[in-house]
Chains A and B, each alone.
Chain A
């Protein structure tokens, strides 16, 4: 056991402090050199933006682009725990095997993919509709508004791992409050941890609980920015509440909702903590693509295979996002 001594405090502060200073000094030096180079030598009109962007570009190159390059290379090899030092080049073998072989012990790619789509759709429908309902209720002058808003943001504010582990206890067959509540209402208790369908439902419930506050906050911000004049005009024309919602609120929320839905889809599709931790018995039926990916990589140590698998997941999300952005025509404004 190691106590938190003064010596540890000073040593760690020194290391972290110097890191911050190094990063800042490096960034400033790079910026100044680049700025002088671009203005004096190249006379570029983009000297300032280039200088502002360079530190972030260097960081992203080092920590995202290069690792992705590595990942692509690994995906063409049979790297695994056994072939860690001497991986062989096997071309597209891994990519073919993702679709032809089981990705875990029994689970195959397409059923898991459909499960992931189902997971994403269910969660997103509840996130958006739940967040929308709460935001509409909160978007008025009322007492206790601040208190409600604070309490409703709780699920977002607590560390996700803790929230999920806490929920896992609550799905305990005998002692969890979910079954206790069910029984007090005269309903039979459910085997949330063992039954495949119930376990998947439990994961969905937890993730819905976790995800509503984010949507609520986003939508509330959008609602507050809509001018009241639209509604006043609509009321003079005799528009019903539903029509006002359908023809004023929804269209005006679109610039807020579209990026939120895209991000929400990506985050849900890639959510690791919830399905992985709720799945106490390691049921392959609850796995979605990213949890299967984690198991393939770190439990079965099939690095080459999981690299190919990861790139395929990435490609699916990429195609979806491009498609969605094209169809809705959103994000166009960011390019202007």
Chain B
């Protein structure tokens, strides 16, 4: 009984599910038009333009268009150095030679560049400060670079400040401290910058460019030093390696063996020289005498053999036809023929 009931419920459910929705019916007007050929089914879907309500949508947006000035301002704001870094860049005289508050370089690269600039500062009378920006960045117009250099670098050691754009060395700019500006002309500064930029542009990547730029500028600063009268010819003529070389002998002690040899040379040098000379002379004389020597043999009467009037001395025969046949293997070779 229970099973029959379940079958009945299932079959009833299937019957209800099998009921289809009623098909659409033609209206009388449409049917007439269809029969006349005026109405094509589906034409509305294929050929009709977008619904009127969609085309009407833009008309609803009433947001005002940005003006060109606003667009320029916006673009400018996106390329400018962010305001939060301006204080770190231009707020005070930099404490390190590499100014990179944005952290554009990795720690290692920053350390390397900084150490190079420190080395330069130790070796030169003119410091080199590098303000590092990203290649696409620009310094805000309210920042006056020249004025900043004047303000921060007018006192103390003369300095050269460079605004370097990582990956775009051609955008770089150079400024010198007031102590140098009188002696180093703007043309000379420009030339130094161009030379450094050219050097940098020969490198394939941004870091190598920056390194090459710093090295070349450091070299050019040496010429600026000379132009400013900070380097005398005497100093220029005695570079670091030579100074250390001249100091070395004073520190280095002569080894005992060398000292003894020198002493021995002083005592016995002349006599040893004479002996060696005499030996060489004798050896040369012997060699010369040997080359001039003539060797004579006693002549004995020898009875002719085998009818030969002059000679019958039969020497060895050696074959050189094969590399496997060594001379020693041919020592006792006897011909197996009689030459007949």
Q: Determine if chain A interacts with chain B.
A: no
Residues of B within 8 A of A (CB): none
